[in-house]
Amino acid sequence: MSTETPLLQQHFIRQIVRDDLAAGKHSVIHTRFPPEPNGYLHLGHAKSICLNFGLAGEFAGTCNLRFDDTNPSKEDVEYVEAIQRDVKWLGFEWAELRHASDYFEVFYQAALKLIRGGLAYVDDLSADEVREYRGTLTEPGRNSPYRERTVEENLDLFQRMRAGEFADGSKTLRAKLDMASGNINLRDPALYRVRKVHHQNTGDAWPIYPMYDFAHSLSDAVEGITHSLCTLEFEDHRPLYDWCVDKVDLANDPALWQSLVAAGLPTTPSKPRQIEFSRGNINYTVMSKRKLITLVSENLVDGWDDPRMPTIAGMRRRGFTPAGIRLFWERIGVSKQNSTIDMGVLEGCIREDLDAKAPRRLAVIDPLKLTITNLPADHAETLTFANHPKDDTFGSRSVPFSPSLWIEREDFAEVPPKGFHRLKPDGEVRLRGVGIVRCDELVKDAAGEVVELRCTLDLESRTGMPGSDRKVKGTIHWVSARDAVPAVVRLYDRLFDVNDPDDDSDGKTYKDHLNPGSRRVVHGYVEPAAAGLEREDRVQFERLGFFVADMHDHTHAAPVFNRVVTLRDSWAKQA
């Protein structure tokens, strides 16, 4: 089965969409992916991207990319550009690119409508006082002393907030709901706050900014979103979401959004439905934006695209494939049950995808010299190797062979353990594609370390010779020392060494659990065909794992490869 078109898992959101279409509730479904541009996207966001864009594609609908840019003090154009790259790299295209800031005038007019209807008021309480008045989970809140201001007074104050007359944090616009509600989110939530911060899209035009719940619900309504998919922490916010949509009622009040029509933004408001699903939690990592920003800002990693990071940019540089990530989230499915997924499942999906797609090459990353003594020192020949053992369409390549070779140091043992079937003193092993060699002599340096193996090649065991079918238990790979290209190889592993880095019950933080072995840089050798790969080309180095030519540092003359995943799950036995 191709990983490009994984078998679709049935889940409750897919069924809701199917039922809504069958009932004629919508003629076309419309979803959105609404990231806040305050950091790089991570694997949890990839779940939402795959779900929103995937459903739109599956049911012939549309999906918008909308930036929730209502908190400009934490936002940056770098993040905007990175998010667009990540969505495209995952294989998706948005129907329209929108910004919450496109609708600032709509939000403002909607707030005025709520004030005129007696549904919102301007409050002078400080942030600390608001928390004090809010109450607790077991005690009701208290009404603000400013709650009963007249409509006229609230309109005047809010318009003056808009004009920039008041200092940051001095006033808020709050919805007039129920301070005794059992849902704290409904205890007169803030709709607007005074923030005199420069905005990347609107400049200094707005000294006030809408709160997330207000802006998000009305953005969905303005864009005609049919299914607003979000994670479970927003379940308690759904009553406020519905209240904002219902009370503003954009669909039946076109005066509120005429500014969009004048600006040429297609607008067909409707009543969206919010549906919650569980987050994508994965072990051995953290996916809190705050923690990821800390890792970057404190130089605990090498930037947002460090291959150890769970960011989409990091996974891309690591060599993970878009198809493998899509396969992973489709295979995991969607539910309302929070759970933590084993990182090995994701790595397995990447491994499965790469096994089918990655050509094979020869590389040695911990080199030990092997010299074949019964061939002339100047002997040279070219062998033909298949590029993929399971797919003839990959073709074949020429691999240079000489008597001077590099092999993996772990493929030789001077004192072999029980069951060791590779090279040992007076032992034999098959050199991949060459024939059987016997280890006759060890060369050691002054410290007693083996630096060279001197071997003889059984010429009768070569391809086409009478002894080519002679059996030996071990086969090892090699590269010609005369022809191989020196390469930097980065061996990446999990960034944290504990299953749940977020668990601070032992008095340690996630930073205390950084895995010191998460990156190891070695200097090895690759066959010329591997050095000739282009940046971001993925390959299997035989017997070693899947690797990618680094997207920034790799050149043909000085190759740099990152290990994507090992050939099998090395963490499973540790669990």
Query: What amino acid is encoded at 97 in this protein?
Result: L
Q: 271, 289, 432, 511: which one is catalytic? A: 289
The reply to whether 528 sits in an annotated binding site is no
Residue 146, Cα to own-chain centre: how many angstroms? Answer: 46
The reply to whether 153 sits in an annotated binding site is no
308 has catalytic annotation: no
CB atoms within 10 A of CB 162: 17
The reply to whether 287 sits in an annotated binding site is yes
How many helices and strands in the chain, by DSSP H and E? 14, 27
Q: 18, 36, 276, 470: which one is catalytic? A: 36
CA dihedral sign of residues 547, 553, 555, 559: negative
CB-based contact 26:80 (threshold 8 Å): no
Residue 167, Cα to own-chain centre: how many angstroms? Answer: 39
Q: 279, 331, 432, 543: which one is catalytic? A: 279
- Cα(first)–Cα(last) distance of the chain, in Å? 29
DSSP 461: G
The reply to whether 556 sits in an annotated binding site is no
Question: Strand (E) positions, 332-418?
Answer: 340-341, 360-361, 363-364, 367-372, 381-386, 396-401, 404-408
The reply to whether 289 sits in an annotated binding site is yes
Instruction: State the Cα–Cα distance between residues 46 and 519, nearest whole angstrom.
Output: 24
The reply to whether 499 sits in an annotated binding site is no
36 has catalytic annotation: yes
Instruction: State the Cα–Cα distance between residues 349 and 322, nearest whole angstrom.
Output: 11
Backbone angles phi, psi at 508, to 5 degrees: -105, 155
For residue 93, give Cα distances in angstroms to 22, 63, 85, 102, 329. 26, 8, 10, 20, 18
Report the half-sphere exposure of 309 (CA within 13 A, side-chain side): 26
The reply to whether 43 sits in an annotated binding site is yes
Q: Is 114 helix (H, G, I), strand (E, B) or coil?
A: helix
The reply to whether 344 sits in an annotated binding site is no
Instruction: State the Cα–Cα distance between residues 523 and 489, nearest whole angstrom.
Output: 6
| The pair of three-digit structure tokens given for residue 220, joined into one six-digit string | 């969905």
Backbone angles phi, psi at 485, to 5 degrees: -105, 125
Annotate 501-560 with three-state secondary structure: CCCCCCCCCHHHHECCCCEEEEEEEECHHHHCCCCCCEEEECCCEEEEECCCCCCCCCCE
The reply to whether 3 sits in an annotated binding site is no
Instruction: State the Cα–Cα distance between residues 46 and 129, nearest whole angstrom.
Output: 39
Query: What amino acid is encoded at 469 in this protein?
Result: D
User: Could you tell me which residues come within 8 angstroms of residue 139 by beta carbon, excluding any fewer than 6 positions away?
Assistant: none
Q: Is 198 helix (H, G, I), strand (E, B) or coil?
A: coil
441 has catalytic annotation: no
The reply to whether 47 sits in an annotated binding site is yes
Instruction: State the Cα–Cα distance between residues 253 and 218, nearest whole angstrom.
Output: 13
Residues composing the chain: 575
The reply to whether 542 sits in an annotated binding site is no
The reply to whether 231 sits in an annotated binding site is yes
The reply to whether 48 sits in an annotated binding site is yes
Instruction: State the Cα–Cα distance between residues 307 and 567, nearest whole angstrom.
Output: 18
The reply to whether 42 sits in an annotated binding site is yes
The catalytic residue positions are 36, 279, 289
What residues form the annotated binding site for L-glutamine? 68, 212
What residues form the annotated binding site for ATP? 36-38, 42-48, 231, 287-289
What residues form the annotated binding site? 36-38, 42-48, 68, 212, 231, 287-289
